[in-house]
C-alpha cells in the first residue's frame, strides 16, 4: 500500500504511513499486541470451554446460536492476532494481492467481523431477546455469570482490541459482517426447513427469528442488518476518535490515521 493511501475510496488528507504487517502487531505506544491479545485469547478459550460444559442441551446444539458463533470468531480472531504479533514478518515474498501476508489478512477480516458482531450480540440480547424469552419457557441464561460473559464481556473484550489496536477500520468493510450475518440467517432458514428443533423442542432457534412467521422474521432480519451497519459505523467512529486522541496527545501529524468515513 502506498504512502498516504488509506482506502480504495479515496486518499488521506493528512500525512500517513503505509499499512504494513507491523501495523497489526503493535499498539500506538509501540507495545506488542501480545500484551492484550494473549489475555483476551485466554479469556476466549475459558469462556468457550465453560459455555460448552454448561450448555443446557445436546452438545451439537451449542452451534445453533449466533452468540456461540460470535464467541468462536473472537477466539479465532485472537489466535490470528497472537500469530500476527508473534511472527516477525519477512520483508520478502509478501502476498501479491495486498502486500500483506495471508495470516495478517485473515486476522484483519476476523477483526472487521468480530467487533460489530459482538456489539450487535450484546445489544440484541439484552434489549430484544432476553425480554422476548420471558414470555416463553426458553431460558438462555441458566448461569447468570456466564450469561454476562457471553453477552457483555464479549463486547468489552472487542472494545479493548479496538482501542489498543493501530490499524484502520473502513466503511466498505461492512460487507464482511454482513456476510457473516447472512450466512447465519441462511443457516437458521435451512435448519427450519430441515425440521430442526431447539433444545426445548421449538421449531425456532430464537423466538424473534421464527420462520413459521415469515413476515415478522423478515422485519427482524432487516432491522438487525441495519443495526449491524450502525455497529460497523460506530466501530469506524471509535477508531477515528482513537486515532485523533492519540495524534493530539503525541502532537504527531504522521502515522496511520483512520479515515473510514472518507469518500
pLDDT tens for the chain, residues 1 to 263:
333 433 333 333 444 457 889 999 999 888 999 999 999 999 999 999 999 999 988 999 999 999 999 999 999 999 999 999 999 876 544 444 458 999 999 999 999 999 999 999 999 999 988 887 777 777 787 789 999 999 999 999 999 999 999 999 999 999 999 999 999 999 999 999 999 999 999 999 998 999 999 999 999 999 999 999 999 999 999 999 999 998 888 775 555 557 665 54
**23 exposure class (CB count in 10 Å sphere: 0-12, 13-18, 19+):** buried
pLDDT of residue 29: 84
CA neighbor of 67 nearest in space, from 193, 174, 152:
152
Gap between the Cα atoms of 70 and 176, Å rounded:
13
Gap between the Cα atoms of 179 and 184, Å rounded:
9
The ranges assigned to domains in the chain are 21-250
| Strand, coil or helix: 28 | coil
User: What's the pTM?
Assistant: 0.87
Q: 244: which 3 cell numbers?
A: 485523533
pLDDT of residue 218: 96
- The DSSP H or E segment spanning 5 is strand 5-7
pLDDT of residue 253: 52
CA atoms within 13 A on the CB side of 10: 12
**58 exposure class (CB count in 10 Å sphere: 0-12, 13-18, 19+):** exposed
Gap between the Cα atoms of 13 and 220, Å rounded:
39
Transcribe 150-184 into DSSP letters.
IIIIHHHHHHHHHHH--S---GGGGHHHHHHHHHH
Q: 107: which 3 cell numbers?
A: 486476522
Amino acid at each position: 500500500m502506498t504512502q498516504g493511501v488509506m482506502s480504495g475510496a479515496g486518499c488521506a488528507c493528512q500525512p500517513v504511513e503505509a499499512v504494513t504487517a507491523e501495523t497489526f502487531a503493535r499498539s500506538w505506544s509501540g507495545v506488542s499486541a501480545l500484551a492484550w491479545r494473549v489475555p483476551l485469547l485466554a479469556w476466549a478459550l475459558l469462556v468457550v470451554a465453560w459455555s460448552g460444559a454448561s450448555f443446557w442441551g445436546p452438545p451439537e446444539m451449542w452451534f445453533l446460536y449466533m452468540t456461540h458463533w460470535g464467541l468462536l470468531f473472537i477466539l479465532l480472531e485472537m489466535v490470528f492476532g497472537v500469530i500476527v504479533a508473534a511472527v516477525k514478518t519477512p520483508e520478502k515474498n509478501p502476498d501479491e494481492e495486498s502486500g500483506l501476508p495471508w495470516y495478517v489478512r485473515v486476522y484483519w477480516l476476523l477483526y472487521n467481523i468480530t467487533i460489530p458482531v459482538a456489539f450487535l450480540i450484546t445489544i440484541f440480547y439484552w434489549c430484544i431477546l432476553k425480554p422476548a424469552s420471558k414470555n416463553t419457557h426458553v431460558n438462555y441464561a441458566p448461569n447468570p455469570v456466564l450469561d454476562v460473559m457471553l453477552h457483555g464481556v464479549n463486547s468489552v473484550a472487542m472494545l479493548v482490541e479496538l482501542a489498543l489496536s493501530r490499524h484502520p477500520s473502513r466503511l466498505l468493510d461492512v460487507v464482511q459482517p454482513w456476510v457473516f450475518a447472512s450466512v447465519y440467517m441462511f443457516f437458521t432458514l435451512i435448519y427450519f426447513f430441515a425440521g430442526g428443533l431447539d433444545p426445548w423442542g421449538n421449531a425456532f432457534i430464537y423466538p424473534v427469528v421464527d420462520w413459521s412467521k415469515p413476515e415478522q422474521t423478515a422485519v427482524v432480519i432487516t432491522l438487525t442488518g441495519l443495526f449491524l451497519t450502525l455497529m460497523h459505523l460506530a466501530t469506524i467512529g471509535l477508531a477515528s476518535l482513537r486515532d485523533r486522541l492519540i495524534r493530539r496527545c503525541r502532537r504527531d501529524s504522521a502515522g496511520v490515521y483512520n479515515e473510514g468515513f472518507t469518500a
